[in-house]
Amino acid sequence: MTKAIVSQDNVHDNALSRLGDPTDALRELLAGALNALMDHEVQSRVGVAKYERDGERRQGYRNGTRSRRFDTRMGSLDIHVPRLRGEGYIPSFMNHRERCEAALMTLVYEAYVGGLSTRKIQKLVDALGIESLSKSQVSEFNKQLDGFVATFRERPLTANYPYLMFDAVYEKIRFQGRSQSHAVVIAYGITHEGMRELIGVEIVDTESFESWSEFFRSLLARGLTGTKLVISDAHAGLKKAIAERLLGATWQRCKVHFLRNILAAVAKNSKESVAADLKPLFHQRNREDAMDIVNGLIEKHGEKHSRAMQILLDGIDDALNYLDFPSEHAAKISSTNPIERVNREIRRRTRVVGVFPSVESAIRLIGMILLEQTEEWETQRGYMSPESMREIELMRSS
């Protein structure tokens, strides 16, 4: 039996002999390699090489070829699939009735999660030289993400979460023909083992006591338990919902938002000096030292900036609650900065979308971003040491 000889050098030379775009040469090189692979597969199947009359034939006869477009990450290739008389042949690198590689679907997923609209994804696909992927197909691929997002959002919360953070970002979503701003409320938790998780996300019309309460109810229904400290800004509806729904948990007012509130009541020409005096306040390791600084601030700025100093007095107790927890955790639980970093990533990716066509499309993209972030954290070392997390139970029970 004569063996088929596939010369890679010949394929390579023919492809690179073209003087056009190097990408075209690579596509031709890949197409040549795939055509050679199919010839080899068919020869192994029938037992003789093309045009060979002698030899030990196993089964079937060649019956020409059929042209077919095969979409790859390099673009659309024209390949020549051999025909076998009386039986079918499907190349090993192709799935029946599927022309796109699995990587093409991954490309669409990544582009969508990266914040591209279906129209922009279509342009991306066109730029890659892929001709057979329509806008409706892109949308269909994206809908498959819904299952992943639903599983992520509805998963049971089996760990204890001593620390929780809550915040919201606002996104434009089309509703009943109009673009409206909606609140995306997000829950961030740190487990009793010191691992970070994004444990909940919901889209509501606006932040209110009712919307936050419903969000908390959904978390509790999924098994949320063990919460000792909740960190957030001082939004009235959120603060009330924390007090009524997360019973037994201490509320920590985000120090960053708190300082902004204070400085907003200071005259512009004095902001820099007051901010410098406030800076040491949250570097203290106990309440006594922190309150000494507060008293000094009141004495120094109370007459000129009375409104700002009243805001300081009214909120300082809640802003220092993190001092009742392990000092190792202070920088990570005194503000919502950890969740703000996640919010910035959401805004970066949603900015190119502009206005979401529906609530479903918004939750699909944002849910995938949060899922992606949580999976990344799972591969990293603990955010807080298990030993320091055990200190919480000892401190709260004493």
**What confidence tier does 151 reach under pLDDT thresholds 50, 70, 90?**
very high
pLDDT, position 57: 59
**pLDDT higher for 62 or 174?**
174
- pLDDT exceeds cutoff 50 at 100: no
Q: What is the CA radius of gyration of the chain?
A: 31
The whole-angstrom separation of Cα 298 and Cα 313 is 9
For the chain, give the percent of residues with pLDDT over 70.
77
Smallest Cα–Cα separation from 337: which of 234, 231, 184? 231
φ, ψ dihedrals at 242, nearest 5° = -60, -45
- What would the pLDDT profile of 103-133 be if each residue is shown by its tens digit? 455 556 666 676 667 777 777 666 666 666 6
The whole-angstrom separation of Cα 231 and Cα 335 is 7
- Cβ burial of 381 (10 Å; 0-12, 13-18, 19+) is exposed
Q: What's the mean pLDDT in 65-70?
A: 78
- What would the pLDDT profile of 322-364 be if each residue is shown by its tens digit? 999 999 999 999 999 999 889 998 998 888 778 888 888 889 8
Half-sphere exposure of 29 (CA within 13 A, CB side): 15
The whole-angstrom separation of Cα 42 and Cα 32 is 16
**What confidence tier does 213 reach under pLDDT thresholds 50, 70, 90?**
very high
Q: What is the dihedral of CA 32, 38, 43, 49, to 10 degrees?
A: -20
- What would the pLDDT profile of 228-260 be if each residue is shown by its tens digit? 999 999 999 999 999 999 999 999 999 999 999
DSSP state of 327: G
pLDDT, position 54: 58
Least confident residue range of 127-141, 144-158, 297-311: 127-141
- pLDDT exceeds cutoff 70 at 3: no
φ, ψ dihedrals at 227, nearest 5° = -75, 130
Smallest Cα–Cα separation from 301: which of 310, 290, 289? 310
H or E segment and range at residue 77: strand 75-84
Least confident residue range of 82-91, 97-106, 288-297, 376-385: 97-106
The whole-angstrom separation of Cα 178 and Cα 191 is 40
Please state, in angstroms and as integers, the Cα–Cα distance from residue 297 to each residue in 23, 174, 255, 293, 303, following that order: 67, 48, 16, 6, 11
pLDDT, position 127: 65
Please state, in angstroms and as integers, the Cα–Cα distance from residue 192 to each residue in 15, 67, 154, 223, 226, following that order: 59, 60, 20, 14, 8
> What is the chain's mean pLDDT, rounded?
82
Question: Would strands 355-356 and 163-175 be described as parallel, antiparallel, or unpaired?
Answer: parallel
**What confidence tier does 96 reach under pLDDT thresholds 50, 70, 90?**
very low
